[in-house]
Amino acid sequence: MAATIDLNAIQAEPNPRPWWAHLYVQVLGAILAGVLLGHYWPSVATEFKPLGDGFIKLVKMIIAPVIFLTVATGIASIGGETKALGRVVGKTFAYFLFFSTLALIVGLVVANVIQPGAGMNIDPATLDAGAVAQYEAKAHEATLTAFLLEIIPTTFVSALTEGSILQALFAAILFGLALSHAGEPGQQVLGLLEKVSVVFFGLVGMLMKFAPIGAFGAMAFTIGRYGVESLANLGLLIATFYLTSLFFVIVVLGAVARLCGFSIFSLIAYLKAELLLVLGTSSSEAALPSLIQKLEQAGCAKPIVGLVVPTGYSFNLDGTNIYMTLAALFIAQAVGVDLSLGDQIALLLVAMVSSKGAAGVTGAGFITLAATLSIVPSVPVAGLALILGIDRFMSECRALTNFIGNALAAIVVAGWEKALDRDALHRALGGEPAPLAAQPIETDAD
């Protein structure tokens, strides 16, 4: 009788890799090297910008196919349970709306307590309105109606070629539903797509090996172009934003994680390589494919991950929302505009809409702030020129907070839907290797 091989037992005792071979160590080293090069040789460092841009383009190249394959196969595998799908979508958007609004309120409260712009006494007439004209123009284009219409792709294929996360998600949902109702031919196509998914996630692993190079190029350019000294000019605003975001992650999201039975610090440790990549590139999209893969390994059902994570990249931007209200009040304080409680509530309501209308746009944090200020006339849009020079450093914190918030959201919604393998979650967060052949997780269709 032929001997059987226990693949899981083999994986449980892997050959230990040297410390320098871990991706997070390599990315961290690359970030430090980029900072040093940018600080001491800024003219040389700025020439490395193509490395960061090239890596982000490589990742964006596979984002749409990864989302399409994950969502389409996930929906098809639950057997066309449209009721279950609708329930997941409803819970997901309820979660997004609550925490996005809470993030806006937190930013508003902190700005009133700390008042980082008080005492600057800047004359709005002296501000360079031309410097922010391009952002203001994009903000006017990014209305909620235009955003909703933009979700619908021009063609089915263009949803996978134009780089829009929501278009790829929209096409994948429709295709997955059609696949689940196609009977035997649908099952054959589903099997093919699952095999293609394996290939694409193998490609993700290949591209992630270039992450240190991308992080080095992006960080070297940022420090070389803007300089560490630029942080000192608006240090109180930057420190306030970083500390507020840290508070939101550790206290607010930490409480949610604790209610779900795990520590937010263990989740951060589990995603450390991805978080360092986000820090190095200032782009949460750079780690999107890897996040989907890791959440599935941590026991979240594929349909949940496929729906929550891509949608969260446009609708669950906790870091961006904190930044919007905090920066808006900073500008008002800096130019001496006293906003009443009614004005601040109006600002909050406008921000709730504009943060969705310009979602998914490059530089969305700055554009959504411009959209908000353009609708609230008491705060001059030209005030954006005050923070334009430091926005690159702010974007890193926005991206990190958004990334952690979306990872947690997927776990929470999976738990609500009884589509979370808690044993796999605790293994992953505890640093144990995942089994080679994970069992499929069924969603609760009752």
Is residue 10 domain-resident? no
Q: What are the pLDDT digits (tens) for 352-395?
A: 776 664 444 445 666 677 767 776 677 777 777 777 767 777 88
Residue 446 has pLDDT above 70, yes or no: no
Candidate from 54-68, 167-181, 218-232 with smallest mean pLDDT: 218-232
Calculate mean pLDDT across residues 187-195: 88
Q: b/e string for 295-322 if b means 16 or more Cβ within 10 A?
A: bbbbbbbbbbbbbbbbbbbbbbbbbbbb
Calculate mean pLDDT across residues 262-277: 92
**Residue 74's pLDDT band (boundaries 50, 70, 90)?**
confident
Candidate from 3-17, 169-183, 285-299 with smallest mean pLDDT: 3-17
> Residue 399 sits in which domain range?
22-429
* 252-256, 328-332, 337-341, 399-403: which is most confident: 252-256
Q: What are the pLDDT digits (tens) for 95-138?
A: 999 999 999 999 999 999 988 877 766 666 655 555 555 555 55
Residue 285 has a pLDDT of 80
Please tell me the distance from the alpha carbon of residue 138 to that of residue 368, in angstroms, as a whole number.
Answer: 9
Is residue 156 domain-resident? yes
Calculate mean pLDDT across residues 264-286: 88
Please tell me the distance from the alpha carbon of residue 144 to that of residue 332, in angstroms, as a whole number.
Answer: 25
Is residue 183 domain-resident? yes
Q: What is the pTM of this model?
A: 0.77
Residue 267 has a pLDDT of 95
Is residue 4 domain-resident? no
Is residue 365 domain-resident? yes
Residue 283 has a pLDDT of 77
Is residue 2 domain-resident? no
Calculate mean pLDDT across residues 244-248: 95
Calculate mean pLDDT across residues 28-47: 88
Is residue 434 domain-resident? no
Domain count, the chain: 1
Q: Which CATH number do you get for residue 298?
A: 1.10.3860.10
Q: What are the pLDDT digits (tens) for 132-169?
A: 555 555 555 555 566 677 788 888 888 888 867 778 88
The secondary structure of the chain, three-state, reads CCCCCCHHHHHHCCCCCCHHHCHHHHHHHHHHHHHHHHHHCHHHHHHHHHHHHHHHHHHHHHHHHHHHHHHHHHHHHCCCCHHHHHHHHHHHHHHHHHHHHHHHHHHHHHHHHHCCCCCCCCCHHHCCHHHHHHHHHHHHHCCHHHHHHHCCCCCCHHHHCCCCHHHHHHHHHHHHHHHHCCHHHHHHHHHHHHHHHHHHHHHHHHHHCCHHHHHHHHHHHHHHHHCCCHHHHCHHHHHHHHHHHHHHHHHHHHHHHHHCCCCHHHHHHHCHHHHHHHHHHCCHHHHHHHHHHHHHHCCECHHHHHHHHHHHHHHCCHHHHHHHHHHHHHHHHHCCCCCCHHHHHHHHHHHHHHHHHCCCCCCHHHHHHHHHHHHCCCCCHHHHHHCHHHHHHHHHHHHHHHHHHHHHHHHHHHHHCCCECHHHHHHHHCCCCCCCCCCCCCCCCC
Residue 393 has a pLDDT of 76
Is residue 13 domain-resident? no
